[in-house]
Amino acid sequence: MARVLVTEKLADAGLRRLADQGHEVDVRLGLSPDELVEAVAGAAALIVRSATTVTPEVLDAGQELVVVGRAGIGLDNVDVVAATRRGVMVVNAPQSNVLSAAEHTLALLLAQARNVPQAHTALKAGKWERSRWEGVELHGKTLGVVGLGRIGSLVAQRASAFGMRLLGHDPYVSTERARQMGMELVPLDDLVARSDFLTLHVARTPETIGLVGKELLSKAKPGLRVLNTSRGGIVDEDALRWALDEGIVAGAALDVFSAEPLTASPLFEVDSVVVTPHLGASTAEAQDKAGMTIAEQVALALAGDFVPFAVNVSASEASETVRPFLPLAERLGSLFARLSEGVPSVLEVTYEGQLADYDVRILTLSVLKGLFSGVVDEPVSYVNAPQLAEERGVEVRETTTSAVHDYVNLIALRGDSHSIGGTLAGLRGEPRIVMLDDHTVEVPPAQHMLVVRNDDRPGMIGLVTTALGDAGVNISDIHVGRSPQGDAALMILATDQALPDEVLTRLRTAPGIVSAHPLS
């Protein structure tokens, strides 16, 4: 059959499953990067956990690779883009550790509230210190949950059983869905100002790195206790130490850190800080689930069957007409989420023109993939995107019409007060955004974009471009959008970098500017 290279410890049941199907299971632990490049040659499958980094060099060396399996949720250590470019499927085990991670969060919550590890250490050292390690009850306290994916929802459910009041912050969850969980959705600043405990369950993205920093902590309710079992870097550890020293934060419980492994930190010197070495998924059950799940996915991939947890599912079954629109659909979904700063309760996806004559369901999946990618605590694929929408209370309505107005084909998204539309232009099929909030525009999608709404009066373009120029931000493209009434009251700019906060503040406070919204 096929050679399966396993570079980290995997549950025996998973290894047996692959061997029983006739595959050669080659377990090589502790490989250096150079040794991995050498070992992957000739392997049809590579299975890793979190310690092995699958780089483009590894993928290039694995000329016969069909699939890379990550026995866990996160894919930070796998270059999915390079794998997709090489035609290598990437699979993970997205549900293997959700229960373990949620339970570990509750363990840290209780340990922090009742000073369990500190009292344990003192007693084993011969000290009977009842008064020193007095704790607090959870009942009646407010728990602020940031990120309401699978793990965050499970934590909220279990905290409710302790009699805790629940606040939540997740722009990708509808108010109705939060209500069903017995939770009030609030802005992040409001959440930290009202919470006794703060727990984080978000993906590590450029937007969430340093999310809990000095600025946010300075707004916290005095005595707040901070928990992080999601990803290192979400909490600014220097800012947390500052807040502890200032008495703003009463304590913390951390399972993840900016740099791992970590054996020394200023936070370790603080008695009210409880730490564990990234144990969220470290249960026998989670490891067994991950091992079995990844073995099943790899076996299916090697057999050429449908793979439920493939992160980069091939769109080869899409028609020749539909396939070129997949990247555009995903980009529109991503831009719509950032434009709306969340998701609507109802998302309308409309296909106009020739696309209406084809099966466009995979385009809708691409829209949802873009909508949720980078904002939930797991990789998003064509497979799990509909489930994520359902979990977050988003109703998706898909409509098609063969009527043609300005474009041969058009994909348009609408929800709440926002809308965006795009098409492919020219012989090379280059993507274009042609409608934004019902203003007619024509601009290629860029990595960094700025949408400015302004009064329809002279001098507004100069005001915006001057503000960016003074900050040293280069403008690579600018388009003025016109409303259905013909008013020039919207600008879209493509820039060479993300805009500094001070530039946004300057624009938003300038006379005549209604709003300035970055899309990165």
Q: Domain 323-519 sits in which CATH superfamily?
A: D-3-phosphoglycerate dehydrogenase; domain 3 (3.30.1330.90)
Kindly report the number of other CB atoms within 10 A of residue 124's CB atom. Answer: 8
Q: Among residues of the chain, what percentage have pLDDT more than 90?
A: 66
* Residue listed under structure tokens 């406070």: 509
Section 114-132 average pLDDT: 97
Inform me whether the pLDDT recorded for 316 exceeds 50. no
CB-based contacts of 74, cutoff 8 Å, min separation 6: 50, 92, 231, 378, 379
Active-site residue 361, yes or no? no
**274 pairs with which residues across the strands?**
253
301: its two tokens: 């991939």
Please check whether the domain covering 98-275 is classified as CATH 3.40.50.300.
Answer: no
pTM: 0.74
Active-site residue identified among 23, 49, 225, 278: 278
pLDDT score of 404: 74
Which pLDDT does position 356 carry in this prediction?
87
Provide CB contacts within 8 A for 281, sequence distance 6+.
Answer: 72, 73, 96, 97, 100, 101, 287, 290
pLDDT of residue 318: 62
**pLDDT: which is higher, 334 or 74:** 334
**CB neighbours of residue 260 within 10 Å:** 11
- Domain positions in the chain are 3-96+284-303, 98-275, 323-519
Residue 488 pLDDT grade (very low, low, confident, very high; cuts 50, 70, 90): low
Q: What is the pLDDT of residues 165-184, one digit of tens each?
A: 999 999 888 888 899 999 99
Is 3-96+284-303 assigned to CATH 3.40.50.720?
yes
pLDDT at residue 304 is higher than 50: yes
Tokens 């934004």, residue located: 436
With tokens 């959440």, the residue in question is 191
pLDDT of residue 429: 87
Q: Are strands 165-169 and 184-185 parallel, antiparallel or unpaired?
A: parallel
Q: Is 260 a catalytic residue?
A: yes
Beta pairing, strands 448-454 & 513-519: antiparallel
Predicted confidence at residue 145, as pLDDT, reads 98
Question: Quick check: 296 and 96 in contact, CB under 8 A?
Answer: no
pLDDT band at 441 (very low <50, low <70, confident <90, very high): confident
Q: Are 281 and 289 in contact (CB under 8 A)?
A: no
What pLDDT sits at residue 378? 67
Count the alpha carbons within 13 Å of 338 in the hemisphere toward its beta carbon.
20
Q: Are 98-275 and 323-519 equal in CATH topology? A: no
What is the structure's pLDDT at 198?
98
Catalytic choice (260, 269, 341, 390): 260
Can you say whether the dihedral through the CA atoms of 50, 56, 61, 67 is positive or negative? positive
Mean pLDDT of the chain: 91
231 is catalytic: yes
Q: Let me know: does 360 contact 350? Beta carbons within 8 Å.
A: no
User: Under 8 Å CB-to-CB from 117, ≥6 apart: which residues?
Assistant: 111, 274
- Specify the DSSP class assigned to residue 54: B
Query: Do the Cβ atoms of 86 and 304 come closer than 8 Å?
Result: no
Q: Residue range 76-97: average pLDDT?
A: 88
Which of 22-31, 247-256, 436-445 has the lowest average pLDDT?
Answer: 436-445
The answer, yes or no, to whether residue 137 has pLDDT greater than 90, is yes
